[in-house]
Structure 1
Amino acid sequence: MDDLIVERAARIAEAELSNALPRRWAHTQGVTQHAVEAGRVLGQDANLLVAAATLHDVGYAPRLAATGFHPLDGARFLRDEHGADERLVRLVANHSFALLEAEERGLREELASEFPLLEEPLLVDALVYCDMTTTPDGGRTTAEERVAEILGRYGDDSVVGRFIRRAAPEIFAAVGRVEAELAAQPR
């Protein structure tokens, strides 16, 4: 994928998030920066990771929130309004173990049938790593601190709280795999 996908992703995310949700936009910018750095383990898919990182939370934009489940709303928007690359759309739809949250919301079959998970483990893990090591304000954090922050913000018994508790072991494992790949790469 060329640089155009990255530029297009940045324009779309900024248009949808920067004014409506400035804190979400700050998080998105931090996730994108992580993706630029983590992309070195992905070779030709580095730009795809950066584009997915830039667009992963676009479904939070108020005008896009049809179901209230941002991965699904964002993926549908990218597919339907922008004709985005299928792999990109599937990454956005399934970022950070969204299928587990979809299950909590009664949307598992809808998400899985419309946007099947990519069978590209390192690419999927890299997006988890970028999202789950970035604070809501775009700073760096550990996956453990990020999960704790999400639980604190949403509460243990909320849909998001139940999801993040279930997903935490998978999140930590994905982050660990990417950190190991990054450590093994020459700088």
Structure 2
Amino acid sequence: MSEEPTSWARAVARGELAEPLPRRWAHTQGVAERARRLGGILGREAGLLVRAALLHDVGYAPRLATTGFHPLDGARFLRDAHGADDQLTRLVANHSFALLEAEERGLREVLEVEFPLLEDQRLVDALVWCDMTTTPDGGPTTVGARLAEILGRYGEESTVGRFIRRASPEILAAVARVEAELVAQPRWG
């Protein structure tokens, strides 16, 4: 994995999140650390996953929040202000089944047109695993605990709560697929 693009992604995320949203920055760093663990199963796509992990929540930055939907705001910022590549912006825009939340917000068509889903299910699943097994403070957690934490923080009837309840089966399935690959991964040394 090339360090230069990863350093760029870390600098952008830090610049947008560290000061205004330190807890979100801690989560982002934890998600990136989880992404590094998947290098053995992703091969040449490992660097892209780490960059997406570092940037997946950049749209929460107050100065970037134009629609209030962080995956879309973040992907637009990366595309428009930084000329980020298509795969990266599409991963950020669609992380953790964001399309379902976009539907709750009346933004599904906009998201689908601007940032179509990636066809690489392993990469999509990997980012879901990284995000959904990391606490808001950046520590590791189980997917069940993470889903419960999100519901508790936002409330079951909020937009995010409705989205999480709808997306939970997909999130659980994605995490299970990644964990099965991790178990099957050969151990070295």
Alignment TM class, shorter chain as reference: over 0.9
Cα distance in 2 between the residues matched to 1:171 and 1:110: 22
Q: Match of 1:37?
A: 37
How is 1:104-143 mapped onto 2 (pairs within 5 angstroms)?
A: 104-143=104-143
For the aligned residues, what is the CA RMSD? 0.7
Q: Match of 1:28?
A: 28
Q: Match of 2:12?
A: 12
Secondary structure, counterpart of 1:110 in structure 2: helix
Cα distance in 2 between the residues matched to 1:186 and 1:17: 36
1:171 positional shift: 0.3
Residue 144 (structure 1) aligned with residue 172 (structure 2) = no
Whichever residue aligns with residue 126 of structure 1, its letter is: A
1:185 positional shift: 0.8
1:37 positional shift: 0.4
Q: Match of 1:160?
A: 160
After TM superposition, the score normalised by the length of structure 1 is 0.99
Cα distance in 2 between the residues matched to 1:67 and 1:140: 30
Whichever residue aligns with residue 135 of structure 1, its letter is: T
Cα distance in 1 between the residues matched to 2:49 and 2:133: 15
Whichever residue aligns with residue 7 of structure 1, its letter is: S
Cα distance in 1 between the residues matched to 2:44 and 2:75: 22
Residue 53 (structure 1) aligned with residue 65 (structure 2) = no
Cα distance in 2 between the residues matched to 1:150 and 1:136: 9
Q: Match of 2:82?
A: 82
Unaligned runs of 5+ in 1: none
Q: How many aligned positions are there? A: 187
Q: Deviations over 1:83-135 (max 9, x none)?
A: 00110000000000000000000000000000000000000000000000000
Unaligned runs of 5+ in 2: none
Cα distance in 2 between the residues matched to 1:176 and 1:144: 11
1:163 positional shift: 0.0
**Which is further off, 31-40 or 72-81?**
31-40
Residue 173 (structure 1) aligned with residue 173 (structure 2) = yes
Q: Deviations over 1:145-166 (max 9, x none)?
A: 1000000000000000000000
1:60 positional shift: 0.1
Whichever residue aligns with residue 68 of structure 1, its letter is: G
